[in-house]
Amino acid sequence: MRVAMWQAWLAGIAVSAVALASLAAAQHSANSQSASSPAGDIERGKYLVNDVAMCGECHTPRNANGELKYDAWLQGATTWVRPVAPIQPWADTAPPLAGMPSFTDTQFATVLEQGIGPEGETLRPPMHIYHMHHDDAKAIIAYLKSLPAGNR
Ligand code: HEC
């Protein structure tokens, strides 16, 4: 009788270990799936744009006090920073990104992954030359497309 209870107890432990292992495996495959999903991960793109690369600092217009206009998020802006010593060429405007009105996915990915403009041109400062991974560029594109295009 005692032996049987021990056996049942051990079997129980074995079953939970197997269950935990398969749960971990399922979790892992769910994670790797979302990282390489063909459409790009909107939430990740939002995080990269708004919390890591800070695209809004330049691509969102500002009010007279220099504060970002959140109701025109990423709708293109006049460049608000100037170099202390002249740098040529310097871009006076940053184009709209919300809704991705002016670029194809491939053009946009080339900007973010290689730092080359849609027509093969050099990007002018203060735009950064990014060398993003393709999945990050795809996520950013998915997020920008999810935003309403502005009326500017
Ligand atoms: C420090 C300011 C700044 C930041 C931050 C910034 N940009 Fe820009 N961006 C610019 C300016 C200025 C231009 C215009 C460059 C030009 O005309 O050569 C530009 C141009 C672009 C272009 C168009 C390139 C072309 O040649 O037409 C794209 C696309 C772009 N930015 C996307 C982004 C994205 C996405 C982010 C965030 C991941 C970002 N930018 C962050 C300032 C910035």
Q: Domain limits of the chain?
A: 1-35, 40-146
Task: State the distance from the centre of ligand 1 to the C-alpha of 72, rounded, in angstroms.
Answer: 16
User: What is the rounded CA–CA span in Å between residue 75 and residue 58?
Assistant: 10
What's 125's DSSP letter?
T
> What pLDDT, on a 0 to 100 scale, did the predictor assign at position 30?
44
> What pLDDT, on a 0 to 100 scale, did the predictor assign at position 39?
72
- Is the domain covering 40-146 a CATH 1.10.760 domain? yes
User: What is the rounded CA–CA span in Å between residue 136 and residue 152?
Assistant: 27
Task: State the distance from the centre of ligand 1 to the C-alpha of 8, rounded, in angstroms.
Answer: 64
> What pLDDT, on a 0 to 100 scale, did the predictor assign at position 34?
46
> What pLDDT, on a 0 to 100 scale, did the predictor assign at position 29?
42
Pocket test for ligand 1, best of 44, 50, 59, 103 (most atoms within 8 A of CB): 59
Task: State the distance from the centre of ligand 1 to the C-alpha of 147, rounded, in angstroms.
Answer: 17
For atom 41 of ligand 1, the residue with the nearest CA is: 55
Low-confidence ranges of the chain (pLDDT < 70): 1-38, 151-152
> What pLDDT, on a 0 to 100 scale, did the predictor assign at position 40?
81
